[in-house]
Amino acid sequence: MIRQVLMPKPPTNSSHPPLNSLLLLSLLLNAPCFAIFAKHGQLLTRYRNSDNLQGLGWSRKAAEEAEAAAKYHCSGHGYVFVDTFDMDEKGTPICECNGCFTGPDCSQMVADCVADANSGDPLFLEPFWIANSEAGATVVPAWYRMSYRINDAEGSVVSPVLEKQIRAIHALVGNAITQGRYIVLGTGSTQLINAVINSLSPTHASNPALVVAAAPSYGAYRGQTEIFDSADNLWKGDARAWTKQTKSLNSTTFIEFVTSPNNPDALLKEAVLEGENVRTINDHAYYWPHFTAISHQAEEDIMLFTLSKLSGHAGSRLGWAIIKDYNVYQKIFQYVRSNTLGVSHDTQIRATRLLRTIINGYGKTKTMEVVNIDKKQMIFHYAYPVMRSRWEKIERIFKSSNRFSLQSVEPLYCNFLRKVTGPSP
């Protein structure tokens, strides 16, 4: 308790030295109390400015659960995730183990386990986000954007802040021009594949559009075209097979996918077909500094990108298309809106935070020179050496083989990293 001290009027002379001493001693003893009172008063003022005193601290329990789950190491071969946070009979959290490991703490290796190298999964970026856990964390209130729309008044399904961050990340890296162009979000770039095919195909035409891609090509182009089985378009395989089909090129709409860097061979590609009936979709999913050198700003009419290859968050399912023509943009937008009513608002808020974290990491330095930055906060400077090291291991393995060989990918100068970089697909 703070004791009130009554200050008498100062004497006109020093005829009461004992009283002065007592007052001085009292002030010294109460000084800490006055400091606490002042601090407490500031906190009360801050709290009184809040609209809802009882609402303060609503995120505390969720934060405690997330922290509790994250602190378990699982022997380095698994995780405890907050959505599956479960305990055994002893009260110890149960780990979700990576392939070939088992046990409550993932410490036991499965005998004769075969590693499945069927496809890529961007988990190599997990250590980066663990190191930047605070900067990349997102707290989502239970009442966050419950509507079908981001903005009820405008009927929008796209976060304007996320769109701003997408444009900013491309400006930072210098891998694509977004100025004067339209951006459409999709549930991963996979959704956008058929959305773009649909927007470019003639409706109820006598000849359906023919969808092609130069081999070897990403399998989803064929898969998406065939699974929707539209009367307006057909999958027709390797684009090179049509280069000399002049009659077909002049009478039929062709939709060519150009993946650059290419999946699966990592080479930079250009369109194979030419003509007034050819529509080109440029998939630049891997056109980021940790996968390939940034040699120019892409500026094609239709460009596809995905969050999974940028930040590694494949499970969030976010892709975007950068569109030059307004009519094409409207068709793609209406397709996505009709198909899924847009992209999950939870995905959009998470992506906004992740992109802002990446941009802010580079915003702390005025130069891209490696010696002047903290790689732990710079995702591309962190990720490129990781991917480069893995590619070098693959190269060594194939060099020791008499049966298999690996295509040569030449080093290129990267405008973003400001140095010549070797292949790191």
pLDDT band at 85 (very low <50, low <70, confident <90, very high): low
Instruction: Return the pLDDT at 425.
Output: 86
Could you give the CA distance from residue 315 to residue 194 in angstroms, rounded to a whole number? 20
What Cα–Cα distance (Å) separates residue 7 from each residue in 10, 80, 199, 404? Answer: 8, 61, 83, 94
Written out in words, the top-level CATH class of the domain with range 63-109 is: mainly beta
* Residue 145 region by backbone torsions, left for phi larger than 0, else alpha for psi between -120 and 50, else beta: left
Q: Read off the amino acid at residue 315.
A: G
**pLDDT at residue 335, rounded to an integer:** 96
Under the banding of pLDDT at 50, 70 and 90, the label for residue 328 is: very high
Res. 382: pLDDT tops 90: yes
Confidence band for 182, pLDDT divided at 50, 70 and 90 = very high
Position 371 scores a pLDDT of 46
Domains 63-109 and 160-361 share a fold: no
Q: Is the pLDDT of residue 74 over 60?
A: yes
CB atoms under 10 Å from CB of 97, counted, come to 20
| pLDDT band, very low/low/confident/very high, at 72 (cuts 50, 70, 90) | confident
pLDDT of 77 over the 80 cut? yes
Extents of the domains making up the chain: 63-109, 160-361
- Calpha distance 10→386 (Å, rounded): 74
| Plot region of 35 (φ>0 → left; ψ -120 to 50 → alpha; else → beta) | alpha
The whole-number average pLDDT for the span 84-106 is: 83
Q: Write the pLDDT tens digit of every residue in 288-319.
A: 999 999 999 999 999 999 999 999 999 999 99
Read off the pLDDT of each residue in 121-126 and give the average, rounded to a whole number. Answer: 91
| Contact assessment for residue 317 and residue 309, using Cβ atoms and an 8 Å cutoff | no
- Ranking 18-32, 114-128, 288-302 by mean pLDDT, the lowest is 18-32
Q: Which residue has the higher pLDDT, 82 or 230?
A: 230
Angle separating helix axes 345-363 and 160-173, nearest 10 degrees = 40
The lowest-confidence range among 26-35, 64-73, 388-397 is: 26-35
273/224 Cα distance (integer angstroms): 21
pLDDT at 375: 59
Question: CB-based burial of residue 197 (10 Å sphere; 0-12 exposed, 13-18 middle, 19+ buried)?
Answer: buried
Name the average pLDDT for the chain: 85
Residues 136, 131: Cα–Cα separation, whole Å: 10
| Fold of domain 160-361 | Aspartate Aminotransferase; domain 2 (3.40.640)
Give CA–CA dist 73/19, Å, rounded.
64
- pLDDT on residue 365: 58
pLDDT, tens digit, 9 for 90 and up, residues 152-162: 767 788 999 99
